Amino acid sequence: MPSRRRTLLKVIILGDSGVGKTSLMNQYVNKKFSNQYKATIGADFLTKEVQFEDRLFTLQIWDTAGQERFQSLGVAFYRGADCCVLVYDVNSMKSFDNLNNWREEFLIQASPSDPENFPFVVIGNKVDVDGGNSRVVSEKKARAWCASKGNIPYYETSAKEGINVEEAFQCIAKDALKSGEEEEIYLPDTIDVGSSNQPRSTGCEC
């Protein structure tokens, strides 16, 4: 029997190139910010243990390339997602306008069972830039869009300064947890060679 039971929660971060997806992920998981991030090629993910009501969960956060041209790859990475984070740069109208594309593209490629109620979280990043003077997307405008898409939770963050990042991801984790059926998996510390270590759903453990 598994000594510990955890739940894997898969989160996908989407948004235009350069809005700060990698930075947000690293700020949340590693509490670090670097000016030397490179443009993400392909995809990568980080994991973080989170605790909710005495239960341990593994948050698996996927960071993908932001250029539209790579969107066709999404199909390989989006499947099984429990929550999708849409990120834009508050200093770039284009990145905000594109949120709708990202949302729709995600729903097409991930094809969740209940697209209407699939949890998204929107993050407006880079609020620190130029003391907010270069900001072009108002909070009001962003919240209005979120409301129109089924009350998507909205956070404004600075991955650089670590502002509001923890809070945003708390919400992301919570929403991921609520999302549809939980996929309980057994992540053993040591693997029994004779048996498969494939994820099993709770349904199988009767």
Partner 1 sequence: MQEPELHDLSDDADYAASQQHGSASMMRSDSGKHSSSSEHDGAEVVYLKDNVTIHPTQFASERISGRLRLIKQGSSLFMTWIPYKGQNSNARLTERDRNLYTIRAVPLTEVRSIRRHTPALGWQYIIVVLSTGLAFPPLYFYNGGVKEFLATIKQHVFIVRSADDANVFLVNDFQNPLQRTLSSLELPRALSVANGQSTSVSVGETSSDENQERTSGDVYEGSISSSQYNERQRQRVHDPARDLSIQVLEKFSLVTKFARETTSQLFRDNHSNGYGAIERRSNNLSPIDYPQKASNDSNKVPDKSPVPPDSLEFDKVSLVWGKPRQAPLGSDEWKTFLDYEGRIMDSEALRKRIFYGGVEHELRKEVWPFLLGYHAYDSTEAEREYLRAVKKSEFETIKKQWQSISPEQAKRFTKFRERKGLIEKDVVRTDRSLSFYDGDDNPNVNLLRDILLTYSFYNFDLGYCQGMSDLLSPILFVMEDESDTFWCFVSLMERLGPNFNRDQNGMHSQLFAITKLVELLDIPLHNHFTQHDCLNYFFCFRWVLIQFKREFEFDKTMRLWEVLWAHYPSEHLHLYVCVAILKRHRSKIIGEQMDFDTLLKFINELSGHIDLDAVVRDAEALCICAGENGAACIPPGTPPSLPVDDYGLLLYPQQELDDVL
Judged by the rule CB under 8 A, the positions of this chain that interact with partner 1 are: 17-18, 35-39, 41-45, 60, 65-67, 69-70, 72-73, 76-77, 94, 189-191, 193, 196-198
Looking at the DSSP assignment, which residues form a beta bridge with residue 83? 11
| Nearer of residues 56 and 144 to partner 1, judged by Cβ | 56
Residue 20: CB minimum distance to partner 1, A: 11
| Nearer of residues 44 and 105 to partner 1, judged by Cβ | 44
Report the alpha-carbon distance of residue 149 to residue 134 in Å, rounded: 26
Residue 185: CB minimum distance to partner 1, A: 11
Helix axes 21-30, 165-178, angle to 10 degrees: 90
Residue 36: CB minimum distance to partner 1, A: 6
Residue 38: CB minimum distance to partner 1, A: 5
- b (16+ CB within 10 A) / e for 142-169: bbebbeeeeebbbbbbbbbeebbbeebb
Report residue 26: phi and psi, to 5°: -70, -35
Report the alpha-carbon distance of residue 206 to residue 204 in Å, rounded: 6
| Nearer of residues 79 and 178 to partner 1, judged by Cβ | 79
| Nearer of residues 77 and 169 to partner 1, judged by Cβ | 77
